[in-house]
C-alpha cells in the first residue's frame, strides 16, 4: 500500500491531536510516527505469540470510556490507524476476526523507515522553534540520542500515557478495519 504522503503532512495532521493530549510526550509522539510509517510488522514476527498476547489482553479488557473512539487514524490519508479494543469488543467484535485483520494489515502496509526518520527529524526542527503541548525540544533531543543509537526501534508508550489511558489497540490498515467492522454483530 504505497502512499505519497509527506512528513510535513503527517505532522500537520498529528500535532494538533497531540497538543490536546496532556499525557503525550516525545516517546508517545515517536510511537505514533513509528506506527504511521512502519505499521505493526514488528508486533507479528511470531504469529502464535502475537495471538496469545491479543487473547490475554482481550480477556482482561474493561468497558470502554465514553470518549474512547473505536478508530483513531494515524495519518491524514487514513491509510492506517489504531482500532481500540475496548469499544470493538463492546460492539460485539470477534477476537479471531481482529487477529486476522491485524496479521493481514502487517503484511499489507508498506513499512518505510526513511519516512519515519524524515518525520522524526521534521518534528525536531519544529520543536526547536516552539513546543507543542507537552512536546519540547529537550525531551526530543534526549529520545533522539537513544533512537540514533538503536536504529529507530519500535517503542512502547510512555508510563505517563499508559497510566492516563491504558492503551489497548491494534494497528490496522483502513481496508482491513472497514472489512472487520462489516462483520455480522458489529
Distance CA 93, CA 180 (A): 8
- The per-residue pLDDT for range 89-102, each reduced to its tens digit, is 999 999 999 999 99
- The predicted structure's pLDDT at residue 50: 85
Distance CA 40, CA 62 (A): 24
- The predicted structure's pLDDT at residue 44: 64
- The predicted structure's pLDDT at residue 4: 83
- The predicted structure's pLDDT at residue 76: 97
Distance CA 118, CA 131 (A): 19
Burial annotation 101-127 (CB, 10 A radius, 16+ → b, else e): bbbbbbeebeebeebbbbbbebbeebb
Q: Is 78 helix (H, G, I), strand (E, B) or coil?
A: coil
- The per-residue pLDDT for range 98-128, each reduced to its tens digit, is 999 999 999 889 889 999 999 999 999 999 9
- The predicted structure's pLDDT at residue 1: 44
- The per-residue pLDDT for range 25-69, each reduced to its tens digit, is 999 999 999 999 999 876 666 788 888 999 999 999 999 999 999
Please state the domain extents for the chain.
7-181
| Grid cell in block for residue 38 | 512502519
- Give the predicted TM-score (pTM) of the model: 0.93
User: What is the rounded average pLDDT for all residues in the chain?
Assistant: 93
| Grid cell in block for residue 75 | 495519518
Amino acid at each position: 500500500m504505497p502512499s505519497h504522503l509527506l512528513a510535513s503532512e503527517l505532522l500537520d495532521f498529528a500535532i494538533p491531536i497531540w497538543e490536546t493530549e496532556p499525557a503525550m510526550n516525545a516517546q508517545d509522539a515517536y510511537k505514533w510516527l513509528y506506527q504511521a510509517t512502519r505499521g505493526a510488522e514488528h508486533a507479528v514476527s511470531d504469529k502464535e505469540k502475537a495471538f496469545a498476547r491479543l487473547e490475554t489482553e482481550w480477556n482482561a479488557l474493561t468497558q470502554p470510556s465514553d470518549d474512547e473512539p473505536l478508530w483513531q487514524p494515524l495519518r491524514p490519508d487514513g491509510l492506517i490507524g489504531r482500532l481500540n479494543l475496548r469499544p470493538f469488543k463492546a460492539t460485539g467484535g470477534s477476537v479471531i476476526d481482529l487477529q486476522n485483520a491485524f496479521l493481514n494489515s502487517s503484511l499489507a502496509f508498506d513499512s518505510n523507515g526513511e519516512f519515519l526518520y524524515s518525520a522524526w527529524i521534521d518534528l525536531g526542527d519544529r520543536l526547536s522553534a516552539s513546543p507543542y503541548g507537552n512536546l519540547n525540544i529537550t525531551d526530543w533531543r534526549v529520545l533522539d540520542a537513544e533512537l540514533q543509537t538503536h536504529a529507530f526501534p519500535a517503542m512502547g508508550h510512555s508510563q505517563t500515557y499508559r497510566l492516563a489511558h491504558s492503551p489497548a489497540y491494534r494497528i490496522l490498515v483502513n481496508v482491513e478495519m472497514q472489512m472487520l467492522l462489516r462483520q455480522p454483530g458489529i
